Amino acid sequence: MYQKHWNLKKLPFENTPDTEFFFESENHEEAFSRLSYVVDEKKACAVITGAYGTGKTLILKALERKFKKKGYVFSFVQNPRLDDLGLLKIILHNFTGYNVPKQKEEVLMGIERFLQDTMHDGKHVVVAIDEAQLINDENVFEELRLLLNFQTETRFLLTLILSGQPELKEKLDSNKQFSQRVTLSYQLKPLDFEETRKYVAHRLEVAGLSENIFEERALELLFERSGGIPRWINNIANMSMLAAFSKDERTITEALVNEGVESSR
């Protein structure tokens, strides 16, 4: 609605995992670098945790974009609230793109065959599971652990990445067999104020606006009310810009951010 008001190429504060908007704060850059290491070195398993809205999904999508260009094959699971067979079927379907068998043993054979074929093609497979804190069935964790048994004498045929809210780590810590397979674990934190300022400027620039239209007090309030969590920064900034558009203003003031806060509740 307000895109033409600032002559923007695209809306700057949408809560979608658009990798063009990926902002490398120190924390996000470190998370991305560590996950890249795990994938690049074909390690077994990595875990990334963080509060709701801190940017975990966007990091996974940026990782997928980077490594797909190198020939890596991804199976991205966004809703893991399934039983063990259901999750295995989703993983195989994401790989093959066609109907999968009904029987568990046939699904596992299909996964193994795909992993072997991919390895022989000189490629590597990554399974990324988002919102993994939703997994409540121990059988699901056991099946995921057993997937890591697909390996040669020198390398794993599959790298597993689990992403979720902080309770995911608690679940994994209580599952000793699985936690022993985790190569790397990283916690994503909210942005600090200076990072929030740069985050807002970055998203505006990607959207086509070279100047930061948020006044200093507006940014301070935006940080205060969002807690530095990107999803909430986006929500409030988006509604603040909508409020400015409705008043035919081009600069976002503290008062407009206050309106954005009220509208985004």
Tell me 134's DSSP state. G
Structure tokens at 49: 């945790």
Whole-angstrom distance, CA of residue 94 vs CA of residue 73: 10
* 3-state SS, residue 131: coil
The structure tokens 């804190």 sit at 133
pTM: 0.92
Domain 26-188 has CATH 3.30.70.100: no
Confidence at 99, pLDDT banded by 50, 70, 90: confident
Instruction: Count other Cβ atoms within 10 Å, centred on residue 24.
Output: 16
Long-range contacts of 132-135 (CB under 8 A, 24+ apart): 132/80, 132/162, 132/163, 132/164, 132/168, 133/164, 133/165, 133/166, 133/167, 133/168, 133/171, 134/79, 134/80, 134/81, 134/164, 135/80, 135/81, 135/171
Give pLDDT tens digits for 193-242. Answer: 999 999 999 999 999 998 889 999 999 999 999 999 999 999 999 999 99
Summarize the confidence of residues 246-260 as an average pLDDT: 96
Residue type (1 letter), 235: N
Confidence at 263, pLDDT banded by 50, 70, 90: confident
In terms of DSSP bridges, do strands 158-164 and 73-77 run parallel, antiparallel, or are they unpaired?
Answer: unpaired
Whole-angstrom distance, CA of residue 79 vs CA of residue 83: 11
Give pLDDT tens digits for 67-89. Answer: 999 999 999 999 999 999 999 99
What pairs with residue 184 in β-bridges?
A: 46
Percent of the chain predicted with pLDDT > 70: 100
Give pLDDT tens digits for 170-188. Answer: 999 888 889 999 999 999 9
Q: Which of the listed CATH numbers 1.10.8.60, 3.40.50.1000, 3.30.565.10, 1.10.10.60 matches domain 191-263?
A: 1.10.8.60
pLDDT at residue 265 tops 80:
no
Domain ranges for the chain: 26-188, 191-263
Structure tokens at 163: 């992403």
Give pLDDT tens digits for 4-62. Answer: 999 999 999 999 999 999 999 999 999 999 999 999 999 999 999 999 999 999 999 99
Whole-angstrom distance, CA of residue 243 vs CA of residue 100: 49
Confidence (pLDDT) at 153: 86
Contact call for residues 232 and 221 (beta carbons, < 8 A): no
Give pLDDT tens digits for 107-152. Answer: 999 999 999 999 999 999 999 999 999 999 899 999 999 999 999 8
Q: In what order do the strands lie in the sheet with 73-77?
A: 73-77, 125-129, 158-164, 45-50, 184-188
Cα–Cα separations (whole angstroms), residue 204 to 51, 85, 209: 24, 44, 5
* 3-state SS, residue 50: strand
